[in-house]
Amino acid sequence: MQITGEQTFTPLITAFCCNWCSYAGADLAGTSRLAYPAEVRIIKVPCSCRINPLFVLRAFQKGADGVIICGCHPGDCHYIMGNYYARRRMTLLFSLLDFMGIERGRTHLEWVSAAEGAKFAATMSGFAENIHKLGKNRRLEDLRCKSS
């Protein structure tokens, strides 16, 4: 872990994974014992197109330092075209967030298939490393939301 200032910085990373490809990819990373940082916390959704931009905003508001979204590869969506919807929505959302001061490195969209356990682990490690470099997200965090 990296030291920023005097404190140890443990980031909060929220990962949204679609049930059919990327969540299965995460399972495969697990079965293959491929480590990635423990600060990555996964939420399962049926499809990447289920991810409401609101969910991403809420995560940042609640203090997440990075949000990553994973879906099936283009052409492989279980629901035919859900990942295309997700790609459009997230492209727009991520640039809007960038405009609001949430750096590009804090948001990411990645295609991970059910067979890509190694890619899942590598993606998560790379993303976490980026967040470590960027440090704490203070831009959207709503301090009133913090319970403790």
Partner 1 sequence: MKRVGVFVCHCGTNIAAAVDVGEVVDKARLERGVVFSAEYPYMCSEAGQTMIANAVKEHNLTGVVVSACSPRMHEVTFRKAAAKIGLNPYMLEMANIREQCSWIHKDKDDATKKAVSLTSAAVAKVHLNTPLFAGESPVTKRALVIGGGIAGISVALDVADAGYDVDIVESTPGIGGRMAQLDKTFPTLDCSACILTPKMVDAATHDNITLHTYSEVESVEGFVGDFTVTIRKKARSVDMKKCTGCGACYDKCPAKKAPSEFEEGLSNRKAIYIPFAQAVPNVPVIDREQCIKFKTGKCGLCETVCAPGAIDFEQQDELVTQKYGAVIVATGFRPIELGKFGEYAPESKDVLTSLEFERITNAAGPTKGALVRLSDGRKPKSITFIQCVGSRDTTPRGKAYCSKICCMYTAKHAMLVKDKYPDIDVNVYYIDVRSPGKNFDEFYRRAAEEYGVNYIKGQVGKVVDMGDHLVLQAADMLDNRQITARTDMIVLATAIEPLKSTKPIASMLTASIDTNGFMTEAHPKLKPVESPTAGVFLAGACHGPKDIPETVAQAGAAAAKVLGLLSKSKLTTNPCVAAADELACNGCSACESVCPYGAIGYEDRQINDHGVRGNQRLAAVNTALCQGCGACAVTCPSGAMDLLGFSNRQILAEVDALCR
- Contact, 86 vs 56, CB < 8 A? no
Of 8-27, which residues contact partner 1 (CB under 8 A)? 12, 14, 19, 23-24, 26-27
Q: Is 51 exposed, middle or buried (0-12, 13-18, 19+ CB in 10 A)?
A: buried
Q: What's the token pair of residue 61?
A: 């508001």
State the binding string over 105-124 for partner 1 (x if CB under 8 A, else -).
----------------x---
Tell me: does residue 47 bind partner 1 (CB under 8 A).
yes
- Degrees, nearest 5: CA angle 22-116-119: 95
Shortest Cβ distance from residue 130 to partner 1 (Å)? 18
Phi-psi region of 111 (alpha: psi -120 to 50; beta: other; left: phi over 0): beta
Tell me: does residue 71 bind partner 1 (CB under 8 A).
no
Nearer to partner 1, 1 or 100 (CB): 1
Tell me: does residue 90 bind partner 1 (CB under 8 A).
no
Alpha-carbon distance of 11 to 94, in angstroms, equals 19
Tell me: does residue 140 bind partner 1 (CB under 8 A).
no
Tell me: does residue 73 bind partner 1 (CB under 8 A).
no
Tell me: does residue 36 bind partner 1 (CB under 8 A).
yes
